[in-house]
């Protein structure tokens, strides 16, 4: 018996189209990045990467990502817990609000932050009089990065926690477990894979974010330049090899992230087959 | 430990889930909360457990375990065991860890030593006959096994009362039978106080010392299974506890008439509705002086100890169901399309306007029609 839509011709055409498109839009650019980065040899590539400004950009990007992840993690878990374990007026609206950072263009997000926290902004004016500078400094970069990445963890957790329900937690409490114990020993183990997955996505976005960061960072070399911003500057300065060296680094981080994600998925499917 | 509920009420948003309820459960008793879905039985059980709070206004209710007032005691300190309908086992823990959980989360002062925990867990696993599966994950067990693990887990902390929410609802019929008997035996052996929720009247009647029948957030009747079945207080209880045949008609001079059917009854003139259980219908080839109820057999199900026969007639709005002994079935050569006469051995009568149990107790009646033969 052949299933509907399973004619050999259709199948070959679809597979061929998928392969061709993947090659054109994904594989080829990726190869091009590395080819360009190494076009003048490893030495030039290395010189570009080990350049002070590049190193600083790498450092800043990683620090921002490392600070973003725990904040988004706590925020995401708390939000998912709130939305799935309690019913209160406005719960639906809150669930919609979570998606705002996905819906809004990152540039717009950056502009809003600039408007609010910039020196001439509503809150920024008051902060400035107290000698606190958020915009055009790393706190601003952190703030917009958190804004664009905060939905990832919650988005991963909410459907899972909804499906799992709260019966296991209720069971734990009837057995005398405290709230903390219940969270650590019952809730967390049940959501750990979704949580890790959310972290991976958060990290990928935090490292790669360009639009929002470019508005609030001021892109001062050696001070507020993240890797994506640095890359763009190099490219504008006609330093193609330098730009592609940075691009290669970003691509490498992306590839590592994808590998981690694939590894997690593989583990998850193995666990399912086992149980 | 006895359980005493005083004035327990609950509403969700605009719906009254429980009207103020008073209930006494004696020490060592096994009590079933029976009712259709939406009758408030699960809500009541969760309030006893402390998983749900009873209304504090207009008047606050009270929950007592023995002499201990637990109304404002948190679930984790109520010393209850709770068995969930879908087991709610910790899916990432082995069977052993599931059963040990309640012991390992005890505060350091009260927590038994590791060796003691191990011994106690294995004693419980032995009791539920699952010691060979101690290292399995819940997902690797059958439904019946999972429910036994969940029972062992609840008993591990030696609760004062055991509460079970539709404990056998998700299991197939055979396993359910076994587990029911097993739970009854366990209850008699360990002698704890248990309350379980069910919508299955057979399960409630078979398992309970006393049954609490609920509907629409009210208690309709509390009695032993035997009394409940023989002397239902009102129409709801009667109809909920088994199949019911209705006979509607007008009484005149001691004869109830309905189309071409009539039956002698000792009732005053007026419209009446009588109810009969399937086993209270006798079938014969001839009418009698007391009753003339012509019926036609439309379906026959010979499975079980008795034959179930479905009956239809012009004067019946809904078909009747009669259970017939296999011997009578053969004697009358029953077959589909055959015309026979029904003879009530006994009938019941409940007044429609009776809304509260007090009123119903006075007006419900039990009559016996002296059918010939």
- Looking at B177, B199, B234, the residue that finishes a domain is B234
| Bridging pattern class, strands B161-165 and B193-198 | parallel
B66 and B212 housed in the same domain: yes
Give percent of chain A with pLDDT exceeding 70: 97
A interface with B, Cβ–Cβ below 8 Å? 167-168, 170-178, 181, 185-186, 189-190, 275
B179 and B30 housed in the same domain: yes
> Tell me, what CATH number does B121's domain have?
3.40.50.300
> Between A and B, how many CB-CB pairs are < 8 A?
65
Q: From chain B, pick out residues whose CB is under 8 angstroms from the CB of A177.
A: 76, 101-102, 105
Find the angle CA(B192)-CA(B233)-CA(B373) to the nearest 5 degrees: 115
> Among B262, B263, B243, B271, which residue's Cα sits nearest to residue B351?
B271
Rg (chain A; Cα; Å): 23
B279: in domain: yes
Cβ contact A174–B153 (<8 Å): no
Looking at residue B352, its pLDDT comes to 59
Looking at residue B162, its pLDDT comes to 94
B57: in domain: yes
B258 and B294 housed in the same domain: yes
B206 and B276 housed in the same domain: no
* Residue keyed to tokens 């001839």: B286
DSSP lists the bridge partners of residue B69 as B64
Q: Which of helix, strand or coil describes residue A104?
A: coil
Mutation target for B interface from A174, A185, A190, A271: give the one with most B CBs within 10 A. A174
**CA of A179: which chain B residue's CA is closest?**
B76
Looking at residue A146, its pLDDT comes to 95
B211 and B318 housed in the same domain: no
B258 and B115 housed in the same domain: no
Q: Using one digit for the tens of pLDDT, what is the confidence trace for A172-229?
A: 999 999 999 999 999 999 998 899 989 999 999 999 999 999 999 888 888 889 999 9
Question: Minimal Cα–Cα distance from B159 to chain A, Å?
Answer: 9
Q: What is the pTM of this model?
A: 0.80
How many domains is chain B partitioned into structurally? 2
* Residue keyed to tokens 């007639």: B313
B160 and B249 housed in the same domain: no
Looking at residue B354, its pLDDT comes to 45
> Among A144, A139, A136, which residue's Cα sits nearest to residue A212?
A144
- Looking at B206, B234, B262, the residue that finishes a domain is B234
Collect all residues with Cβ–Cβ distance below 8 Å to A176 and sequence separation of at least 6: B76, B77, B102, B105, B106, B157
Q: From chain A, pick out residues whose CB is under 8 angstroms from the CB of B154.
A: 174-175
B302: in domain: yes
- Looking at B234, B261, B288, the residue that finishes a domain is B234
- Identify which of A167, A178, A275 has the shortest CB distance to residue B88: A167
DSSP lists the bridge partners of residue A217 as none
B35 and B90 housed in the same domain: yes
B372: in domain: no
Q: Using one digit for the tens of pLDDT, what is the confidence trace for A18-42?
A: 999 999 999 999 999 999 888 888 8
- Say if CB B52 and CB B215 are below 8 A apart: no
What number of other Cβ atoms are within 10 A of residue A110's Cβ? Answer: 26
B346: in domain: yes
B107 and B195 housed in the same domain: yes
B interface with A, Cβ–Cβ below 8 Å? 49, 51, 75-77, 80-82, 84, 86, 88-92, 101-102, 105-106, 137, 139-140, 150, 153-154, 156-157
**CA A3 to chain CA centroid, nearest Å:** 39
* Range(s) of the domain holding residue B19: 3-234
B79: in domain: yes
Angstrom distance (rounded) from CA A250 to CA A210:
12
> Tell me, what CATH number does B274's domain have?
2.40.50.100
Looking at residue A269, its pLDDT comes to 76
Looking at residue A1, its pLDDT comes to 56
- Identify which of A171, A186, A190 has the shortest CB distance to residue B82: A171
Q: Which 3-state string (H, E, C) describes chain B?
A: CCEEEEEEEEEECCEEEEEEEEEEECCCCEEEEECCCCCCHHHHHHHHHCCCCCCCCCCCCEEEECCEECCCCCHHHCCEEEECCCCCCCCCCCHHHHHHHHHHCCCCCCCCCHHHHHHHHHHHHHHCCCHHHCCCCHHHCCHHHHHHHHHHHHHHCCCCEEEEECCCCCCCHHHHHHHHHHHHHHHHHHCCEEEEEECCHHHHHHHCCEEEEEECCEEEEEECHHHHHHCCCCHHHHHHCCCCEEEEEEEECCEEEECCEEEECCCCCEEEEEEECHHHEEEECCCCCCEECEEEEEEEECCCCEEEEEEECCCCCCCEEEEEEHHHHHHCCCCCCCEEEEEECCEEECCCCCCCHHHHHHHCEEECCCCCC
Q: Using one digit for the tens of pLDDT, what is the confidence trace for A84-138?
A: 988 889 998 998 899 999 999 999 999 999 999 988 888 888 888 888 888 888 9
Q: How is A87-99 classified by DSSP, letter by letter? A: --TTHHHHHHHTT
B87 and B205 housed in the same domain: yes
Mutation target for B interface from A87, A171, A274: give the one with most B CBs within 10 A. A171
Q: From chain B, pick out residues whose CB is under 8 angstroms from the CB of A172.
A: 90, 101, 105
Angstrom distance (rounded) from CA B347 to CA B342:
13
| Bridging pattern class, strands B30-34 and B210-215 | parallel
Angstrom distance (rounded) from CA B274 to CA B296:
20
B225 and B257 housed in the same domain: no
B100: in domain: yes
Collect all residues with Cβ–Cβ distance below 8 Å to B14 and sequence separation of at least 6: none
Structural domains in chain A plus CATH codes: 35-274 (1.10.3720.10)
**CA of A189: which chain B residue's CA is closest?**
B92
B284: in domain: yes
Q: From chain A, pick out residues whose CB is under 8 angstroms from the CB of B49.
A: 174
- Exposed/middle/buried for B14, CB within 10 Å: 0-12, 13-18, 19+? exposed
Angstrom distance (rounded) from CA A36 to CA A240:
8
Looking at residue B58, its pLDDT comes to 79
The stretches in chain B having pLDDT less than 50 are 353-373
Cβ contact A190–B51 (<8 Å): no
Looking at residue A272, its pLDDT comes to 60
pLDDT tops 80 at residue A268:
no
Looking at residue B362, its pLDDT comes to 26
Sheet arrangement for strand B3-12: B15-25, B3-12, B62-65, B68-69
B124 and B173 housed in the same domain: yes
């Amino acid at each position: 018996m052949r299933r509907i839509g399973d004619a050999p011709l259709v199948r070959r055409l679809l597979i061929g189209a998928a392969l061709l498109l993947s090659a054109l839009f994904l594989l080829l650019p990726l190869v091009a990045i590395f080819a360009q980065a190494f076009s003048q040899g490893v030495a030039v590539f290395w010189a570009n990467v080990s350049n002070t400004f590049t190193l600083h950009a790498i450092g800043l990007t990683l620090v921002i990502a490392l600070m973003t992840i725990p904040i988004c993690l706590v925020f995401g878990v708390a939000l998912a817990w709130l939305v799935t374990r309690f019913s209160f007026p406005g719960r639906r609206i809150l669930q919609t609000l979570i998606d705002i950072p996905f819906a809004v263009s990152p540039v717009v997000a950056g502009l809003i932050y600039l408007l609010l926290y910039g020196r001439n902004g509503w809150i920024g004016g008051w902060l400035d009089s107290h000698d606190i500078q958020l915009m055009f400094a790393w706190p601003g970069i952190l703030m917009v990065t958190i804004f664009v990445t905060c939905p990832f963890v919650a988005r991963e957790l909410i459907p899972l926690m909804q499906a799992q329900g709260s019966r296991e937690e209720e069971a734990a409490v009837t057995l005398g477990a405290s709230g903390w114990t219940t969270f650590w020993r019952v809730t967390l183990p049940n959501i750990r894979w979704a949580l890790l997955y959310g972290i991976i996505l958060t990290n990928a976005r935090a490292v790669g974010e360009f639009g929002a960061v470019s508005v609030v960072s001021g892109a001062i070399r050696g001070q507020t330049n993240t890797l994506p911003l640095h890359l763009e500057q190099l490219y504008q300065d006609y330093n193609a090899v330098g730009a592609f060296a940075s691009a290669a680094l970003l691509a490498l981080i992306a590839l590592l992230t994808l590998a981690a994600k694939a590894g997690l998925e593989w583990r998850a499917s193995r666990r399912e087959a086992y149980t | 430990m006895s359980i005493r509920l005083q004035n327990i009420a609950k509403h969700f948003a605009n719906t009254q889930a429980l009207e103020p309820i008073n209930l006494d459960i004696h020490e060592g008793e096994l009590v079933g909360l029976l009712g259709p879905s939406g009758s408030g039985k699960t809500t009541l059980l969760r309030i006893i457990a402390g998983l749900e709070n009873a209304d504090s206004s207009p008047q606050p209710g009270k929950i007592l375990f023995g002499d201990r007032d637990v109304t404002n005691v948190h679930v984790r300190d109520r010393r209850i065991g709770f068995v969930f309908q879908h087991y709610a086992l910790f899916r990432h823990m082995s069977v052993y860890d599931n059963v040990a959980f309640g012991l390992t989360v005890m505060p350091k002062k009260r927590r038994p030593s590791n060796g003691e925990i191990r011994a106690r867990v294995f004693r419980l696993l032995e009791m539920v006959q699952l010691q060979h599966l101690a290292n399995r994950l819940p997902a690797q067990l059958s439904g019946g096994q999972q429910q036994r693990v969940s029972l062992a887990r609840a008993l591990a902390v030696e609760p004062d009362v055991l509460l079970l929410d539709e404990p056998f609802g998700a299991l197939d019929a055979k396993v359910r039978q076994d587990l029911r008997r097993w739970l009854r035996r366990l209850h008699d052996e360990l002698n704890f106080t248990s309350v379980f929720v069910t919508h299955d009247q057979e399960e409630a009647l078979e398992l309970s010392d006393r049954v609490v029948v609920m509907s629409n957030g009210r208690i309709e009747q509390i009695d032993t299974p035997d009394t409940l079945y023989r002397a239902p207080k009102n129409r709801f209880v009667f109809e909920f506890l088994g199949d019911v045949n209705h006979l509607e008609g007008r009484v005149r001079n001691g004869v109830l008439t309905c189309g071409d059917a009539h039956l002698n009854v000792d009732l005053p003139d007026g419209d009446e509705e009588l109810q009969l259980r399937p086993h209270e219908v006798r079938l014969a080839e001839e009418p009698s002086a007391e009753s003339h109820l012509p019926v036609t057999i439309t379906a026959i199900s010979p499975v079980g100890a008795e034959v179930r026969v479905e009956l239809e007639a012009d004067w019946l709005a809904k078909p009747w169901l009669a259970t017939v002994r296999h011997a009578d079935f053969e004697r009358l050569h029953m077959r589909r399309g055959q015309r026979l006469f029904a003879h009530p051995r006994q009938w019941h009568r409940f007044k429609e306007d009776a809304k509260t149990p007090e009123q119903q107790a006075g007006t419900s009646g039990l009559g016996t029609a002296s059918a010939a033969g």
